[in-house]
Amino acid sequence: MAKRMAYKGQIIKQLFFTAHLSCSDLSSQINKSLPFINGLLSELIEDGVVVETGYAPSSGGRRPLMYSLKTGILYVLAVAMDQFVTRIALMDMHNRHITDLVKFDLNLAEEKDALAKLTEKIQEVIQNTKIQKDHITGIGIGMPGFVNARTGINYTFLKNGNKGITTYISEHTGLPVFIDNDSSLVALAEFRFGAASKRKNAMVVNLGWGIGLGMVLDEKLFRGNNGFAGEFSHIPLFTNGKLCSCGKHGCLETESSLLIVTERARQGVAEGKLSLLKELVTNESAEKDCAAVFDAAGKGDRFAVSLISDAGYVVGRGLAILIHIINPEVIILSGRGAAAGKIWLPPIQQALNEHCIPKLADSTELEISELAYEAEIVGAAALVMENYEKVFLKKNLKTDLITA
């Protein structure tokens, strides 16, 4: 029974990530016989979880019948956090928002009760959705910091002693909870649904208040020995004497993060720079002023464009180092900063031209993510579904025991 349940969970997981699959597709991916998979699909259809979606387009032979997850049955609560702002969304099995995005300020470094406040907000969102809790598969959370996804502990923020964040939130909500570093989840989103989905080796840069990095190597998300890979922000690239958030000096983020871009925008306005930002910068929050820089740059404001270009060149210098080490097929610019679009590309390319061996630089593509700021939300939902087999198995075995 347990093995059969696990295979059902695998089918649901595969359909989440691929949307439409045939029995033959599922048989190949799960490595089980066609009759076995067909039987499981029949049971899942009877359970009201899977539906037939018609025949695939003709490729010359008999068209296979396709299957998909039924809408309105399963949901995931996705939580995307940065140092200052947290977003929560209830997502369906097709990565669509079921409710309006809930967004609120939460300063992870300064708020003493940040974990309790986060948990309270999650409970509030669940209650307001009016959806039965047993239809919510789980909670996926992306957050900055040194995150151990296995133990559920963040060694930088939301410290809870030896008790994991996942355990704390799960005890209060009654739902399975999974966490990972925000940049890892941005990369997971790009790998599963975005610009890295058909790439063998890709680097995904999370342009945010820091400069994060997720890596897809040999078509697998690479997290490193203990999950801490990708601390791109903290490459010691400068001798500028500037203190970084990590406690060291001269890190990449001290010259290139969106916080630096925002600070320079405010400074320029204060010094009387001729710019649209004079009317847009509010000094109220980094988020609002960063958005103002992007807005002004999109309208061709020279000062705003120069702020992004200066940061982009520095990011490009860091990427040149990584290209020499990893030789990726593509570099994808994602996260909050991707909203600035193609403005990033010329300065990064210039840095690669200057600091990279041409043979390596020429074989590496540079792309702007279409998921952009939505990537972490999508990645948080995907994190739950990456772990879906054990969630499904645990839930259904518990139900069977109760029934028995």
DSSP secondary structure code for residue 111 in this structure: -
170 within some domain: yes
The CATH number of whichever domain residue 110 belongs to comes to 3.30.420.40
Residue with tokens 């630096």: 260
* Pair (137, 259) in one structural domain: no
Residue 401's pLDDT is what?
Answer: 34
The total number of structural domains that make up the chain: 3
Sheet strands (E) in 93-208: 102-105, 136-143, 147-148, 153-154, 177-181, 202-207
Residue 245's pLDDT is what?
Answer: 83
**Rounded CA separation 125/86 (Å):** 13
Residue 398's pLDDT is what?
Answer: 57
190 within some domain: no
* Pair (202, 310) in one structural domain: yes
* Pair (217, 283) in one structural domain: yes
Residues 6+ apart with CB under 8 A from 106: 81, 84, 85, 86, 114, 117, 118
Residue 3's pLDDT is what?
Answer: 81
* Pair (80, 136) in one structural domain: yes
CB 373 within 8 A of CB 4: no
**CA 375, 379, 382: angle at the middle one, nearest 5?**
145
* Pair (315, 360) in one structural domain: yes
Residue 104's pLDDT is what?
Answer: 94
Domain stop point among 51, 69, 87: 69
* Pair (65, 79) in one structural domain: no
Beta bridge partners of 293: none
* Pair (253, 341) in one structural domain: yes
382 within some domain: yes
192 within some domain: no
* Pair (84, 23) in one structural domain: no
Strands 220-222 and 85-92: unpaired
* Pair (222, 333) in one structural domain: yes
H or E element in which residue 143 lies:
strand 136-143
The tokens describing 257, both together, are 């993060």
Residue 284's pLDDT is what?
Answer: 81
pLDDT 10s digit of each residue in the chain, 404 long? 678 888 888 999 999 999 899 999 999 999 999 999 999 999 999 999 999 998 888 666 678 899 999 998 999 999 999 999 999 999 999 999 998 999 999 999 898 899 999 999 999 999 998 888 889 999 999 999 999 888 899 988 998 877 889 999 999 999 999 999 999 999 999 999 999 998 999 999 999 999 999 999 999 999 888 888 888 989 998 888 888 888 888 899 999 999 999 999 999 999 999 899 988 888 788 999 999 999 999 999 999 999 999 999 999 999 999 999 999 999 999 999 999 999 999 999 999 999 999 999 898 999 999 999 999 999 999 999 999 888 877 777 654 433 33
> Residue 58's domain spans which residues?
2-69
* Pair (293, 323) in one structural domain: yes
191 within some domain: no
* Pair (302, 348) in one structural domain: yes
Residue 60's pLDDT is what?
Answer: 64
The CATH number of whichever domain residue 10 belongs to comes to 1.10.10.10
* Pair (53, 84) in one structural domain: no
**Rounded CA separation 252/235 (Å):** 6
393 within some domain: yes
The tokens describing 353, both together, are 């031209």
